Amino acid sequence: MNKQPEEWQDPQPSQQQANEQDEIIWVSKSEIKRDAEALKQLGVELVSLGKNALEKIPLDDDLRAAIALAQRIKREGQRRQIQLIGKMLRARDPEPIQQALDKLKNRHNQQVTLFHKLEVLRDKLLVHGEDAIAQVLESYPQADREQLRALVRNAQKEQAANKPPKTALQLYQYLRTLAEAD
């Protein structure tokens, strides 16, 4: 019998081999580098966080220790440590960490927006007086009308006398406590 080598017998790949080749996803070297750089930037953001914020992010002990070390060291050592953190993140699923970080950023942005709204409301109270007090009482029914009136009146007097805005700051703080209690 004249037997041919196996590779010569079937020039067409089998259906199973074709399916396996279809399932392979080719990733370019550039894409791998972009992904690695994104994880390194995630590491930079983690290193820049404070201790309280880091506690809210789901990190394992090794990664938490690497971040703490990067926060303690400076310059070139920190750069290399951040590269190590990026490498550690590649071995893990970074999605929960990114989601927790995004949630922290969003909460911060919401607070900044609220503080700006309260500043505008304070300024409106100083300009419009009694009309604006009625609007504040609609928004915050738990507010004390007499305390608001006294704070607005004293802040307006300070403003007219070109004194430091001590009472205006107290008014802002009162509005902030109302907003946080709401």
For residues 113 and 142, membership in a common domain is answered with: yes
What pTM value is reported for the model?
Answer: 0.49
Q: Is the dihedral of CA 53, 57, 60, 62 positive or negative?
A: negative
Alpha-carbon distance of 47 to 32, in angstroms, equals 23
Q: Is residue 66 part of a domain?
A: yes
Q: Is residue 116 part of a domain?
A: yes
Q: Domain range for residue 84? A: 29-92
DSSP string of 70-131? HHHS-HHHHHHHHHHHHHHHHTS--HHHHHHHHHHHHHHHHHHHHHHHHHHHHHHHHHHTHH
Which residues of the chain, if any, have pLDDT below 70?
1-22
Of 148, 146, 156, 135, nearest to 177 by C-alpha is 148
How many structural domains compose the chain? 2
- Please tell me the predicted confidence (pLDDT) of residue 80: 92
- Please tell me the predicted confidence (pLDDT) of residue 5: 54
Q: Is residue 134 part of a domain?
A: yes
20-69: per-residue pLDDT in tens?
556 777 878 888 888 888 888 888 888 888 888 888 888 888 988 998 89
Are the beta carbons of 18 and 65 closer than 8 angstroms? no
Q: Which CATH number covers residue 34?
A: 1.10.60
Are the beta carbons of 100 and 56 closer than 8 angstroms? yes
Q: Which CATH number covers residue 175?
A: 1.10.60.30
